[in-house]
Structure 1
């Protein structure tokens, strides 16, 4: 009986894990990410991570935060950023935004017919997940 209970508990845990992964993927539909760089820094416990983030037409990145600072540089399109405590800001190619560590934010491609892309650079705590989902 204990074996069946343990197997059942393991199966439920796997379903919960996969369900959470599918939900997170569904929330990020239309967002692509290409890892470009990940290196340890001389600052103890810190690393730099750089990624190219693509937004399909009209796509949104759900509210989230990072365990460190983010600097984003818009390469193409128009991206609207919502950073908690600040009014929304629309960035065009060549514009940048700084997001402090742990601050909840989201981003949305304002173009309904074209893709938007940003270069995001993070200075984050090593060993922590890069993205932490936040309540809607």
Structure 2
């Protein structure tokens, strides 16, 4: 059974890498570095933590996640546009909760580089990033 879990996990990591690679090709001014990727004790859930670096003016694709996200701005100013809400701009040291399945866009609106620490509690066995139209 552990072999099966390992194969499934490898497939998911590959699938996530493919989606992120496609995202990077669309916007080479974003760089995502996964820091933690682990199952948690809650049934059917995992935690993923990543650092996302934004070049000046960089903007993400419109996307959602199969679970909650907490975004913490490490550097710079990042504007978050959550579907159905007014945009909010966060500066270094501020954080934002993004509900599961909420489509959103993140944009570096500062003068220099920006980065965030993104922590996700998401469903296992599904892609982390879902591109929205």
TM beyond 0.5: yes
Q: Deviations over 1:64-122 (max 9, x none)?
A: 0000000000010000000011100000001100000000000000124x110000000
> Match of 1:134?
132
Q: How many residues align?
A: 115
Counterparts in 2 of 1:79 and 1:40: CA distance versus 1, 3 Å: same
- Structure 1 segments, 4+ long, off by >4 Å, are 20-23
Larger radius of gyration: 1
> Match of 1:82?
81
> Match of 2:118?
120
Unaligned regions of 5+ residues in structure 1, if any? 1-19
Q: What is the Cα deviation at residue 31 of structure 1? A: 0.4
Counterparts in 2 of 1:71 and 1:23: CA distance versus 1, 3 Å: closer
* Aligned partners of 2:24 and 2:30 also within 8 Å: no
> Match of 1:28?
27
Q: Deviations over 1:15-74 (max 9, x none)?
A: xxxxx9876433232000111001111111100000000001100011000000000000
Aligned partners of 1:120, 1:21: CA distance in 2, in Å?
A: 14
